[in-house]
């Protein structure tokens, strides 16, 4: 294989995620060669997180599109860790608040002031009650959610069936 074929092979690479037995997943890299497509494993994982992506990036022949890799993992059914950053911190803070844990008054005032001074400058419309009801579940583990779902299904099984009146055909009265 000459140098031109190697360059073409590197230009036509693609990373994707495949499911393996035992709830494991692999990040694989496919590349075109003169003898047909070839794929190699870049990383094996159970949960796709930043460390797994970094390990795959080190072994990859080209740069990886992290967003496309996360989308591929979701399509394959792999658990994807929440990105580190403001959203993760906001979820954790909301979960703590829902659990009755409040920051000090000074930190509360600083947080409210910072959030109110957003780049748009406009205040957000009132949050619906359904959105507020989700707050305790933002940081819940899959096991906690599964337990709550089982409890809810058991409750639904114990509810009495609804009482409905049977529709009756109106009485026929002879015409006079």
Which string of DSSP letters, residue by residue, matches 26-73? EEEEEEEETTEEEEEEEEEESSB-HHHHHHHHHH-SS---HHHHHHHH
Render pLDDT for 81-114 as a digit per residue (tens, 0 to 9): 876 677 778 888 888 888 899 988 877 777 777 7
**Residue 117: pLDDT band by 50, 70, 90 thresholds?**
low
Q: Which domain holds residue 47?
A: 3-76
| 20 and 59 share one domain | yes
Q: What is the pLDDT of residue 3?
A: 45
**Residue 7: pLDDT band by 50, 70, 90 thresholds?**
very low
**Model-level pTM?**
0.45
- Domain membership of residue 166 (yes or no) is no
User: Angle at which helices 66-76 and 50-59 pack, to 10 degrees?
Assistant: 110
Tell me 80's DSSP state: B
- How many domains are contained in the chain? 2
- Domain membership of residue 123 (yes or no) is no
- Domain membership of residue 163 (yes or no) is no
CB neighbour list of residue 70: distance below 8 Å, 6 or more residues apart:
48, 80
What the block records as the tokens of 93 is: 């803070």
| 28 and 58 share one domain | yes
Render pLDDT for 25-48 as a digit per residue (tens, 0 to 9): 999 998 888 888 889 999 999 999
- Domain membership of residue 173 (yes or no) is no
């Amino acid at each position: 294989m000459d140098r031109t074929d190697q360059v073409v092979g590197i230009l036509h690479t693609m990373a994707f995620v495949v499911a393996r037995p035992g709830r494991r997943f692999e990040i694989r890299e496919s590349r075109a060669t003169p003898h047909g497509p070839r794929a190699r494993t870049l990383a094996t994982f159970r949960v796709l997180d930043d460390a797994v992506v970094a390990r795959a990036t080190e072994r990859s022949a080209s740069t990886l599109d992290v967003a496309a890799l996360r989308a591929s993992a979701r399509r394959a059914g792999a658990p994807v860790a929440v990105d580190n950053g403001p959203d993760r911190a906001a979820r954790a803070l909301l979960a703590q608040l829902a659990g009755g844990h409040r920051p000090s008054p000074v930190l509360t005032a600083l947080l409210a002031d910072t959030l109110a001074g957003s780049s748009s400058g406009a205040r957000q419309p009132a949050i619906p009650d359904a959105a507020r009801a989700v707050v305790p579940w933002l940081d819940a583990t899959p096991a906690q959610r599964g337990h709550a779902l089982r409890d809810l299904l058991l409750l639904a099984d114990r509810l009495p069936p609804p009482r409905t009146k049977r529709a009756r055909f109106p009485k026929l009265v002879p015409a006079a």
